[in-house]
Structure 1
Amino acid sequence: MRSRSQLASNEFSSADEVQRWAIELVLSNGTSVSPRGQHTMEVCPASFTLLNPRSRCVTQAERKWSFALAIGEFLWHASASDDARVLEYYARPWAAFAVGGRIRGSCYGKSIFSTRGESPSQWASVLGLLTSDPDSRRAVLDFRVTDSNNELDAPDVACASTLQFLVRQNRLNAVAVMRSNDVVWGLPYDMFVFTMFQEMAAQKLGLELGWYHHHAASLHIYDRHRGLAQALLAAKVPNSHEMDVMGSLDCLPNVIEQERRLRQGLAPEFAQIPSSYWVALVKVLFDFGRRKLQSS
């Protein structure tokens, strides 16, 4: 892994540390802007590096970060879906961003995993490029290709622009570029999904996991979240949680199927998943479904 002196100064070991830094940065140095009439405090631009991408989970209790939503959203992307009902199952606010039951802009998985005509997916092309030319600087995934007609007034325009992979010293590093990033709600889930993509690619390429760098043109906190942000700063910093090394991606189609079964109220078929890593994630979704049913 590259030394700390070779990376940007804003370097962190966990998602909890990133969240705290980002909140403190915006509340201390942000300026007031109101895009689309929504009042925010903003730092423009801002960047950080997560040195250990597997420490991608926010564990601070006061944040009430949903591990189930993070997993469900990741699997939604991995299935190349744009069906809003999947995300609404985990977080009802997603309904406000749907058009005709579909998410039009933020369906990053559909952008990168879908084939177009006879052309391979972006994902396959990028992995093929890095296989043939590991030093390449062209391995860039474009998340904006599903935005219909590039309508900038649409309820959902992709917040993430690109994710670039760089193979250096036998490690797969990643650089995410965001046009817009909400610190309180968006950033923790973005880090989770993009570092999961990074680890998927590292496994496919047979590489160690490197660092993850994140650049946001606008890093901001909405006025309605300011109280929560201040409470998070006042709370004790928790110990970080590092996820295990990702299980075999051969299991992923079955994991996606088990997530679908759970949303339909069916029992999960754990025996169909020969990986303790993926079984543990499906169990998180199973527990979420039981709590959801009990509260309905």
Structure 2
Amino acid sequence: MLTPRTFRSVEGAYLALLQQVAGDFEHRITARGNDAREVIGAGFRLPDPRQRLPYLAARKANPVFQFAEALWYLAGRRDLEMIGYYAPSMRAGSADGLTLGGSAYGHTLFTPAAGDTVSPFDRVLELLRGEADSKRGYLPVFSPAELAVSDNPDMACLAGLHLLPRKGRLHMVCSMRANDLDCGLLSDVFSFTMIQEYAAVQLGLELGTYTHLIGSAHVNDRNSERVKQVLAEADTRPHPHNFPFPAMSEETTPDTITRVLEHEELLRTNKARYRADDVARLDVDAYWQQAVLLFEIYRQIRHEETDAVSRDVLEALHPGLRWLCSHRWSACADAGGEQ
């Protein structure tokens, strides 16, 4: 039986795809002015979707944005006010300067359609609660209507998510129309596996496998130098870093997401400043306190333009998140460590 290749973490899948497209690509393409190398029909599987973070110094993954984007999706939002703060480049995809269209996946998944009162996500959960071994838990995201918009600046890359409960575990298959392996893959897998884990918690199921399927897997030529640096690091380091990430709290509900985002907004707008002990006393559990700590770090970097982020906040972070922050921002480097 043929199944996608399995990797222990997203890092291994990311490196394998980069190696394939960098050295054994199938096509040279030019799409909307971007020259790229491409492989058609790529994919992989993660047996533990919680291992959704890469620890590669040359890549400098941004855990603040990754948590922000996942929460933005889970809240069903499409506004640029929030997500544009963490990723200003996303503003280029907005037709009106205020909202995003196809790439606002959470709005499609978690907001009821016109004339409905239940979101597609909640409707699928309702289906799965009453139908064992269902094959019908599919959440489409890409819409054919997007093709009718001339010069569409923001067409969904995500085709859909397929939730499959089997023997007490919730598996998910993600289908991508296209994936930029260097720029988009890591944040996509982070957010989609968060959605999968959130769904598992709501259904009272254990987390199953995550399978990621891509129509056009590509790397743009303008990013080829960074890809070379990432692959060189992977080839020369003595061993991969290992920071197993904890499970999402079983108490997580839509209200939890709302509360976390209330704290995010206070920090994003610089209306609050948290020490580590302040975060520990917040109305969210320890798992989601990690996201608030990240938002406080970013507040200090953006609003205080500090040379050194508060050490107590850094030390309260999960070791993997601290490692990523230390390699992303020099203000976090003192407490980064090489665990």
What TM-score bracket applies, with the shorter chain setting the length? over 0.9
Change in 2 beyond 3 A, CA 1:288/1:145: same
User: What is the rounded CA distance, in whole Å, between the counterparts of 1:131 and 1:90 in structure 2?
Assistant: 36
Structure 1, 273-282 or 231-240: larger mean CA deviation: 231-240
Q: Which residue of 2 aligns with 1:184?
A: 182
Q: Which residue of 2 aligns with 1:106?
A: 103
User: What is the rounded CA distance, in whole Å, between the counterparts of 1:182 and 1:147 in structure 2?
Assistant: 23
| Residue 287, structure 1, aligned to residue 297, structure 2 | yes
**Residue type of the alignment partner of 1:240:** N
Q: Which residue of 1 aligns with 2:28?
A: 32
SS of 2:260's equivalent in the other structure is helix
Change in 2 beyond 3 A, CA 1:274/1:20: same
Where do residues 89-100 of structure 1 align in structure 2 (5 Å cutoff)?
89-100=85-96
Q: Which residue of 1 aligns with 2:72?
A: 76
Where do residues 149-160 of structure 1 align in structure 2 (5 Å cutoff)?
150-151=148-149, 153-160=151-158
Q: Does the Cα contact within 8 Å between 2:75 and 2:257 map onto a contact in 1?
A: no
Structure 1, 111-120 or 37-46: larger mean CA deviation: 111-120
SS of 1:102's equivalent in the other structure is coil
Q: Does the Cα contact within 8 Å between 1:34 and 1:40 map onto a contact in 2?
A: yes
Q: What is the CA-CA distance between 1:92 and the residue it aligns to?
A: 1.6
SS of 1:278's equivalent in the other structure is helix
Q: Does the Cα contact within 8 Å between 1:15 and 1:50 map onto a contact in 2?
A: yes
Q: What is the CA-CA distance between 1:119 and the residue it aligns to?
A: 3.9
Number of residues paired by the alignment? 291
| Residue 258, structure 1, aligned to residue 263, structure 2 | yes
Q: Does the Cα contact within 8 Å between 1:147 and 1:157 map onto a contact in 2?
A: no
Q: Does the Cα contact within 8 Å between 1:76 and 1:109 map onto a contact in 2?
A: yes
Structure 1, 83-92 or 126-135: larger mean CA deviation: 83-92
Change in 2 beyond 3 A, CA 1:53/1:17: same
Change in 2 beyond 3 A, CA 1:213/1:96: same
Q: What is the root-mean-square deviation in Å for CA atoms of aligned residues?
A: 1.9
Structure 1, 200-209 or 228-237: larger mean CA deviation: 228-237
- From 232, 242, 245, give the equivalent of 2:244: 242
Q: Which residue of 2 aligns with 1:3?
A: none
User: What is the rounded CA distance, in whole Å, between the counterparts of 2:117 and 2:259 in structure 1?
Assistant: 25
Q: Which residue of 1 aligns with 2:37?
A: 41
Q: Does the Cα contact within 8 Å between 1:135 and 1:168 map onto a contact in 2?
A: yes
Q: What is the CA-CA distance between 1:9 and the residue it aligns to?
A: 4.6
Q: Does the Cα contact within 8 Å between 2:197 and 2:207 map onto a contact in 1?
A: yes
TM-score (norm 2): 0.82
Change in 2 beyond 3 A, CA 1:149/1:47: closer
Structure 1, 268-277 or 215-224: larger mean CA deviation: 268-277
Q: How big is each residue's C-alpha offset from its partner over 1:83-118, in whole Å with a ceiling of 9 and x where there is no partner? A: 113222112211111121211111111001111323
Q: Does the Cα contact within 8 Å between 2:4 and 2:43 map onto a contact in 1?
A: no
- From 216, 223, 243, give the equivalent of 2:221: 223
TM-score (norm 1): 0.93
**Residue type of the alignment partner of 2:18:** I
Q: How big is each residue's C-alpha offset from its partner over 1:37-60, in whole Å with a ceiling of 9 and x where there is no partner? A: 210000001011011100001221
Change in 2 beyond 3 A, CA 1:132/1:152: farther
**Residue type of the alignment partner of 2:194:** M
Q: What is the CA-CA distance between 1:80 and the residue it aligns to?
A: 1.1
**Residue type of the alignment partner of 2:173:** V
- From 18, 23, 26, give the equivalent of 1:23: 18
Q: Does the Cα contact within 8 Å between 2:112 and 2:118 map onto a contact in 1?
A: yes
**Residue type of the alignment partner of 2:116:** E
SS of 1:19's equivalent in the other structure is helix
User: What is the rounded CA distance, in whole Å, between the counterparts of 1:201 and 1:215 in structure 2?
Assistant: 20
Q: Which residue of 1 aligns with 2:287?
A: 277
Q: Does the Cα contact within 8 Å between 1:16 and 1:240 map onto a contact in 2?
A: no
Where do residues 55-70 of structure 1 align in structure 2 (5 Å cutoff)?
55-70=51-66
- From 209, 212, 228, give the equivalent of 2:210: 212
**Residue type of the alignment partner of 1:22:** L
Q: Which residue of 2 aligns with 1:127?
A: 125
User: What is the rounded CA distance, in whole Å, between the counterparts of 2:297 and 2:89 in structure 1?
Assistant: 21
Which residues of structure 2 form unaligned runs of 5+? 307-339
**Residue type of the alignment partner of 1:94:** M
User: What is the rounded CA distance, in whole Å, between the counterparts of 1:147 and 1:70 in structure 2?
Assistant: 28
Percent of counterpart pairs with the same letter? 31
User: What is the rounded CA distance, in whole Å, between the counterparts of 1:127 and 1:203 in structure 2?
Assistant: 11
